[in-house]
Copies of this chain bind each other. A is one copy, B any other.
Amino acid sequence: MADNISYNAPRGMRDFYPEEMAKRNYIFDAWRQAATEFGFQQYDACVVESLDLLKRKAGEEIVDQIYAFKDKSDRDLALRPEMTPTLARMIVNKQGSLSFPVKWFALAQCFRYERMTRGRKREHYQWNLDIIGEESVTAETEVIAAAVRGLELLGLSASEVKIHFSSRQLLGELLVALGIDEKFHQAAFLALDKRGKITDEQIAKLLLDEGVSEAGTEKVFGLLNIKSLDDAEKLLPDETAGLKNIKDFEELSKVYGLEDILEFDISVIRGLSYYTGIVFEGFDAAHGFRAIFGGGRYANLLNSIGGKPQTAVGLGFGDVVIAEILSDLGRFDEINMAAEYAVAYMNDEQKETAVKVAVKLRSKAKTVDLALNAEIPKKFFKRCEKENFKKAIFIGPDDVEKQTVRIKDLATREQQEVKIEDL
């Protein structure tokens, strides 16, 4: 431990000193409030999950990034990279007794072993919103509207947010219309999702490697020219199920007041393999950060792990990008971590009175920082200013004698004398 670096958190893991923790709480409080306003119920599960479940249900890219280990009974365990497989397991476990649809949310810590580029971390928290057991697009709109409300509570107005959406079902229908066999669709989705991260040549090579013909590969790229649902409709022989579904979604989202926020974008795919229908990504329109949240419809996850088939919609909203945005906007500056009252005393002779004052105020559920040792007034008031307390009580010999305190309002600098028994 001589090396100074070892006092840091392990590589990629975060320490939350009080100032950072206050920011995290600021975000978590908004998430919890938005979810609660929308009637979602909170759940959680231990961050340690069975490796088997995660391997089966996560996207391939993620499997390489799982923190896996064995326990002392040689059980294969892992730190979950995402919450959805755990949610699916919990739902299947009580599928017979839960009343569907269920609307659940979680504030889940997730781990990914990624190469450490540009300050990316290996763990983060994710707000998860899921509706299980609802076919209609009300599920998509409720989840998205709740996320938008979360942003609003964090001070990002709806006008600052853009949500790009598409549909894997529609994309599949378009691929079929272009004559691309269904067995290639999953590969096409995952390849297209990599756009921007790798070159188009690399994407084309991925598709060719999967067995898509050169002509087919060109057609896949051609789909990216679709700019609207009307464009898509022209390529389809008739109104397909996927097209109708995404139109319904667009229609209902207007009733939710989301029309200015939503934007059809054929290139939205999402990286996880279990999505089957509408998919979406939320952005901070004004600032150009990475996606704030993403999600979509997953119809087959429950049966794919052995449960009864039930469709679901989920959304994941991480704490890292939003914290960057809020920090940029100076939103964290308004956080005040200080107690309401600071109580201090001149000498040990006043300590008993100071403790009594603190006990009295706390018994009224006031937040009170009690000086642990005698302090001169100058130092005390300097500390009050630095730490941003609202009211200061400094107890000197006179106060003990008179059994009164002088409560100083640190904003107005007004002072009020109150009997201790009347506090």
Contacts and interface: CB of A to CB of B under 8 A. Distances in A.
Interface of A: 1-2, 6-11, 13-18, 21-22, 24-25, 33, 36-39, 41-50, 52-53, 56, 67-73, 75, 77, 79, 89-90, 92-94, 99, 101, 103-104, 109, 111, 113, 123, 131, 134, 136, 138-139, 141-142, 145, 149, 252, 255-257, 305-307, 337, 339, 351-352, 355-356, 359, 362, 365-370, 372-373, 383, 386
A142 B370 CA distance: 9
B306 A10 contact: no
Contact of A43 (B2, B16, B47): B16
A77 B69 CA distance: 10
Given A11-B75, A42-B25, A372-B138, A90 B17 contact: yes
A48 B352 contact: no
Contacts of A79: 48
A256 to B, nearest CB: 6
Given A17-B43, A67-B71, A306-B2, A373 B7 contact: no
A297 to B, nearest CB: 14
Number of copies: 2
Contacts of A41: 18, 21-22, 337
A131 B53 contact: no
A49 B362 CA distance: 35
Contacts of A356: 255
Given A48-B10, A123-B48, A255-B352, A43 B71 contact: no
B15 A42 contact: no
A135 to B, nearest CB: 8
A392 to B, nearest CB: 13
Contact of A366 (B37, B52, B71, B99): B37
A101 B67 contact: no
A97 to B, nearest CB: 10
A367 B15 CA distance: 33
Contacts of A8: 93
A64 to B, nearest CB: 9
A368 B93 contact: no
Given A16-B43, A139-B372, 18 more contacts: A1-B56, A1-B305, A7-B90, A7-B92, A10-B46, A10-B48, A10-B77, A15-B44, A15-B46, A18-B104, A21-B41, A21-B43, A22-B41, A25-B42, A38-B362, A41-B337, A255-B359, A256-B355
